[in-house]
Amino acid sequence: MHTFPSTQQSGFDFGRTPNAIWASAGAAEGDTELNAFDNALLAAQVGNLNLIRVSSVLPQEATLLVEPPRITPGSLVPTVYSVQVSAQPGDTVAAAVGIGVGQGSHGMIYESHGTSRREVEATVRKMIDEGFARRGLHLKEVVVRSIEHKVERIGCAVAAVVLWWR
């Protein structure tokens, strides 16, 4: 998978397959579960976007961006994401996304949430292996983004893959 700097695009294009992806993770506290989620989205640099949850197919020619794409706040953005929230102080929340890049084919993106970074990373790696085996695809590369957070009041962990256009 090639990496390129991010690019500016004007909006969601239902007629074209996304050709760029960007992966991130963030965690935060909030006064409510929704505020913790919103603050974790901000920490992951996707908090000013309208995320449209999509299933997990990585377009074959998609490029992994090093920096987040510059997307107009309020844009509709196809995203694969995972969320873990807890209102129990002392709990650990964790989230991960795993990108399986196909060799000469499309790839797959999987998400997991739980109580430790190690757990959610292992889970997405296992999901990638199974998804590729089931489809008869050859795995070229795996990219994982994850985060773990110890809850103080109400905490949230988010991991996301934004699908976009360059």
Residues classed as catalytic: 50, 55-56, 111
Give a three-class secondary structure readout of the chain: CCEECCCEECCCCCCCCCCEEEEEEEEEECCCHHHHHHHHHHHCCCCCCEEEECCCEECCCCEEECCCCEECCCCEEEEEEEEEEECCCCCEEEEEEEEEEECCCCEEEEEEEECCHHHHHHHHHHHHHHHHHHHCCCEEEEEEEEEEEECCCCEEEEEEEEEECC
